[in-house]
Amino acid sequence: MTPAQGGARAAAPARGQGHGPVIAVVPLRGGAAGKTRLSAELDPQERSRLVAVLARHVLGALLAGRVSRVLVVTADPGFAAEVVGPDGRVEVVAQPVDRPGLNEAVAVGQERALAAGAARVLVVHADLPLLAADDVRALLAPAAPVVIAPDRLGTGTNALVLAGTVSGFRFRFGPGSREAHEREARRLGVVPGVVLRPGTATDLDTVADWAELPDAVRAGLRTAVGGG
């Protein structure tokens, strides 16, 4: 399934390998601010539509893959509400102005998820064009309290699973985040699990990422965002 085709919807809430409810956290930037490194390929309107198309695809994959609820954390709730649409399983969470940045957005989502009774919190970036329900299930399969899914270069983090029993984990998204998150897990006495799959490793931030996409996916995205 490509982003242009949309995401599947879950038949029923899933509980993730018997470990209790899984709530996903998806940080989402506003459309106007997103994907500026793709300006050589897409104009501002196309980039805004791309953010929306990718986010909808990720949400569909999550809801089809053992996730009962999704929290979309954003500093642009209006844009996020348009992206999400009327789906009761997805909640838009406004990021507090005094807690800016990606890591704080994720922390806000984790706090909300744990307060809602999540046994595990799955953090996923909103720009994974190959993500499928099987990838989500693979992320939730390991028994490790911390599970990391690196990007295609092996240095960043595209997804992260934290058991509700993990306390004091500090999010380190940014350059070198895979190593930083592994250090963070070990600081807490946890040996992290690692999931390596094309669907979790393939993000879309740069022109190089764009070039690495399968031809059919790239063509589908161009059509979906109006790029011809």
Q: How far apart are CA 178 and CA 158, in angstroms?
A: 9
pLDDT bracket for residue 20 (50, 70, 90): confident
How far is residue 133 CA from its own chain's centroid?
Answer: 13
pLDDT bracket for residue 17 (50, 70, 90): very low
Predicted pLDDT at 163: 97
Q: Point out the annotated binding site.
A: 157, 174, 177
Q: Point out the annotated binding site for phosphoenolpyruvate.
A: 157, 174, 177
Higher pLDDT, 168 or 45: 168
Predicted pLDDT at 44: 83
Predicted pLDDT at 2: 40
> Which runs of E-coded beta strand occur in the chain?
22-27, 69-74, 90-94, 120-124, 146-150, 157-163, 193-194
* Model pLDDT for residues 23-42, shown as the tens digit of each residue: 999 999 876 666 778 887 88
Q: How far apart are CA 212 and CA 206, in angstroms?
A: 10
* Model pLDDT for residues 82-123, shown as the tens digit of each residue: 999 888 999 999 999 999 999 999 999 999 999 999 999 999
Q: What are the structure tokens assigned to 126, written together?
A: 């909103």
Across all residues in the chain, what is the average pLDDT?
Answer: 89
Predicted pLDDT at 18: 46
Predicted pLDDT at 3: 43
The matching CATH number, chosen from 3.90.550.10, 2.40.50.140, 3.40.640.10, 3.30.565.10, for 19-225 is 3.90.550.10
Burial class (CB in 10 A: 0-12, 13-18, 19+), 125: buried
pTM, full prediction: 0.89
Q: How far apart are CA 124 and CA 24, in angstroms?
A: 7
What are the extents of the domains in the chain? 19-225
Rounded to a whole number of angstroms, the CA Rg of the chain reads 16
